[in-house]
Amino acid sequence: MNLKNFSPIYWSAPYQREVAARIIGINKNRVKVDKTLFYPSGGGQLSDLGLIVYQQQEIKVVGIEKRDDGNWLQIDSAGDSILEEGVEVLLQLDWDRRYSFMKSHSSQHLISHVLKRLFDIETLKANFDDERIDIEVSKNLSEAEILEILLESNRLINEGEEVISIIVDKDEYKRKYRDVARGKISNENIVRLIQLGAGEGYDLTCCGGVHVKNLSEIKGIFLDVFKGNSLKFFIDKHGIDSVNRERILMINLEEVTAKKGEKLVEMLINKLNEGKILQEGNLRLLKMIFSEIAYRSQEINSNKIVLLNLPEIDRQALQSAARELEKGFLIVVLGRNDILYFISTNEELSAKKINEIIIEKTGSKGGGNKGFAQVNVKNVENPLSLVKEVLTKLN
C-alpha cells in the first residue's frame, strides 16, 4: 500500500500555510476541495480556519464539517455565489491559530508523557486552546509532584527534543507499535503515531492531530492552576506574560506585608486562622448570651427588649446564633463596623418596622425583614439610646 496517498497535508507538511486547490463540490455555504490543508478537528484539537482566495476575492472558512462523504469547508454566506465547481482557488490557513494549536497539542503530549513516566499517572481528558492546555488525570497531584512535572517538561523543551510523525497501516501498527504506544486507534486502516524524542524512553501516542517539529518551539510550560486531578497550563508568550503579571501582583503584596515567599504564605495562613478562632469565639459568646436572654431583657412599652453593645460581632455570627433564640423577644445589637442589628422573635414587633423608623430618623442606610434587619449607624451618636427612645414611644 502506498501510504503517501493517505497522508493529508496537515500531517505531511504541517508548516505549509497555503496551497492551490480545485473546488470539487458546492452545497450552499459548504465547499469541498481536493486538498487537505485544513485540519478538520478531533482528538481535542479544534479545526483550522482560514480563507479561500478566488479572483482576488477572499471567502472566509468559518468551520469544517466532517461528513460521510468527506470534509466540507463551511464558508460565510457570500461564498456560493462566487465559487463554482471545477475552478482553481488558493487555500490559506489562519496560521496564528493553527500554530498555537500545534504548540498546545504537542505540549499536551509532553505533559501526559512526563506524568506517565514520572508518576505512572494517566491522562483522562485533554483540551487545548490558544496557548492553553487543560488536563484531567487519573490521580490527585501534590504541589511537589506538579513542580517535578513542570521541571521535567521544561527540561525536555530546553533539550530541543524532536517530534516525529509516523504513518503506518494497521498490520504494521499491530506488529511494531501496539504494545508500546499510548492512546486508541480509529477504525481507519491508517494509523498515525506521534513520537516525542528520538532517544531512549521516548513517548509514542496514536494521534491524528497537528504538531510542531521540535519541542523547543513551545518555549516553556507554565502552571496556571491545579485542583485535585485537574491541571491548567499556559505555554510560550501567553505563559511568560501571565507569570510576569502574577509576579508583579506578588511584589505588591510583598511590599504591603513586608514578607516574602514562604514567609508571606505562612503569615497569611496565621492571619486566616486567627480570624477563624475569633469568629468561633464570637459565636460561642453569642450563644451564651442568647441562652439566658430572658435574664438580660428589660420591659419597654410592655415588649421584652434586649440591648447589646458587641463591637466584635458580625452578621454571620448573629444569624447563626439567632437560630437558637427563645420566642417573644426583640434583640438589638450594635455590632462590628457600626452596624445595628434587630432580631425579632416577637410576632407583634417587626424588626423591619423598628429598623425603618431608625432609618427615617437618621437618614442611614439599611433593610431587612420582620425577623432580621440591619442599619448602618456610623453617623449616629449613641444609637442604642435612640432605639430605646423609639421603643418607648411606640404605640
- Rounded least distance, CB 235 to Zn ion, Å: 15
- Rounded least distance, CB 1 to Zn ion, Å: 24
Closest CB to Zn ion: residue number? 207
- Rounded least distance, CB 209 to Zn ion, Å: 4
**Nearer of residues 43 and 371 to Zn ion, judged by Cβ:** 43
**Nearer of residues 126 and 322 to Zn ion, judged by Cβ:** 126
Map the footprint of Zn ion across residues 168-227, applying CB under 5 A: 207, 209
Using rule CB under 5 A, residue 111 touches Zn ion: no
Q: How far apart are alpha carbons 187 and 360 in whole angstroms?
A: 76
**Nearer of residues 188 and 246 to Zn ion, judged by Cβ:** 188
Map the footprint of Zn ion across residues 19-48, applying CB under 5 A: 43
**Nearer of residues 208 and 368 to Zn ion, judged by Cβ:** 208
Using rule CB under 5 A, residue 14 touches Zn ion: no
Map the footprint of Zn ion across residues 257-296, applying CB under 5 A: none
**Nearer of residues 102 and 305 to Zn ion, judged by Cβ:** 102
**Nearer of residues 203 and 236 to Zn ion, judged by Cβ:** 203
Beta bridge partners of 51: 60, 92
**Nearer of residues 102 and 207 to Zn ion, judged by Cβ:** 207
**Could you tell me which of 344, 317, 321 has the C-alpha nearest to residue 332?**
344
- Rounded least distance, CB 63 to Zn ion, Å: 21
| C-alpha cell, 284 | 460561642
- Rounded least distance, CB 166 to Zn ion, Å: 13
- Say if CB 45 and CB 101 are below 8 A apart: yes
| C-alpha cell, 263 | 514567609
- Rounded least distance, CB 106 to Zn ion, Å: 8
- Rounded least distance, CB 224 to Zn ion, Å: 20
Using CB under 5 A as the binding criterion, the count of chain residues that bind Zn ion stands at 3
Name the site residues for Zn ion (rule: CB under 5 A): 43, 207, 209
